[in-house]
């Protein structure tokens, strides 16, 4: 394992109570960061805190689609120091052809995956500008580049996250703030439970490596992108799809 110096860094990870978010949080803690995990499930958040027993790990119950809640949560922090933001909160929703896709499900998926990322960046970017430092990593998906059949809402939302990343990265380039996205292939997290078995198998069949992504593989990439070692890359998309995407 590579070592990254995240001491004296404060990180916020959305969707941090499970899956990618929780694994990233654990690795950040290992490298010395102070971490706040955000999620809308207080029971899950509380269970994580009890299990990890780390004084540098705290949580906030946050609905990332609610601007007022996100803004108030940031204002209630004891200091205005946010060095790292990981926009990981996301849902996949049902699988169906676009013409059969329920409108309310479409709106919710766009709201959580894309609008939630926008809101968190909108609130936290000014803090990073003031401090002339920041690392933002948006957890997108390979489906945002390739598109997944029967997952048009999720694919569209994640494609939007990539566009947001490229725009914001350019807007913040004059500061010591890096904004990047990662596009993972499927991993064995609970988000797969939202999909049909047929859809999951179809996703796996597209990966030349022939297996699911390991959580540790993603969190290692995110650690580098969140560290001072990433001093130049911004507005970029880092693929971690096992060869599914070649661009």
Kindly list the strands in the beta sheet with 177-184, ordered across the sheet, starting from the edge strand earlier in the chain: 57-61, 34-39, 10-14, 84-87, 134-139, 177-184, 236-240
Set 101, 154, 175, 247: catalytic member? 154
Mean pLDDT of 35-59: 97
pLDDT attached to residue 206: 73
The domains found in the chain, sorted by start residue, are: 10-240 (3.40.50.720)
- Confidence check: pLDDT of 188 > 90: no
Is the pLDDT confidence value at 193 over 90?
Answer: no
Count CA atoms within 13 Å of residue 160 on its CB side: 16
- Both structure tokens of 107: 């709106």
Please give the structure tokens belonging to residue 119. Answer: 């809101």
Q: Is 154 a catalytic residue?
A: yes
Cα 177 to Cα 156: distance, rounded to the nearest angstrom: 26
Q: By mean pLDDT, which of 20-34, 50-64, 75-89 is the weakest?
A: 75-89
Q: In this model, does residue 25 exceed pLDDT 90?
A: yes
Greater pLDDT, 213 or 177 = 177
What confidence tier does 166 reach under pLDDT thresholds 50, 70, 90?
A: very high
Give the E-state strand segments of 140-188 in sequence order: 177-184
Under 8 Å between Cβ of 72 and 95: no
Distance in angstroms between the alpha carbons of the first and the last residue of the chain:
26
* pLDDT exceeds 90 at position 4: yes
């Amino acid at each position: 394992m590579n070592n990254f110096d995240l001491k004296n860094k404060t990180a916020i990870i959305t969707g941090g109570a499970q899956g990618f978010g929780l694994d990233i949080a654990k690795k950040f803690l290992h490298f010395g960061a102070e971490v706040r995990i955000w999620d809308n499930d207080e029971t899950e958040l509380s269970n994580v805190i009890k299990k990890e027993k780390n004084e540098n790990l705290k949580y906030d119950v946050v609905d990332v689609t609610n601007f007022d809640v996100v803004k108030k949560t940031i204002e209630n922090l004891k200091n205005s120091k946010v060095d790292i933001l990981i926009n990981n909160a996301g849902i996949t929703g049902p699988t169906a052809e676009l013409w059969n896709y329920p409108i309310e499900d479409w709106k919710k998926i766009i709201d959580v995956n894309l609008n939630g990322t926008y809101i968190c960046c909108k609130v936290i970017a000014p803090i990073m500008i003031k401090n002339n430092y920041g690392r933002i990593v948006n957890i997108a998906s390979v489906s945002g580049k390739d598109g997944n059949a029967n997952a048009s809402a999720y694919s569209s939302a994640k494609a939007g996250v990539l566009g947001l990343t490229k725009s914001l990265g350019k807007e913040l380039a004059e500061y010591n703030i890096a904004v990047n996205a990662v596009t993972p292939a499927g991993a064995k997290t609970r988000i797969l439970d939202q999909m049909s078995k047929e859809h999951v198998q179809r996703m796996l069949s597209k990966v030349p490596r022939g297996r699911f992504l390991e959580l540790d593989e993603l969190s290692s990439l995110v650690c580098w992108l969140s560290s001072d070692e990433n001093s130049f890359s911004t507005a970029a998309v880092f693929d971690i799809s096992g060869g599914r995407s070649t661009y």
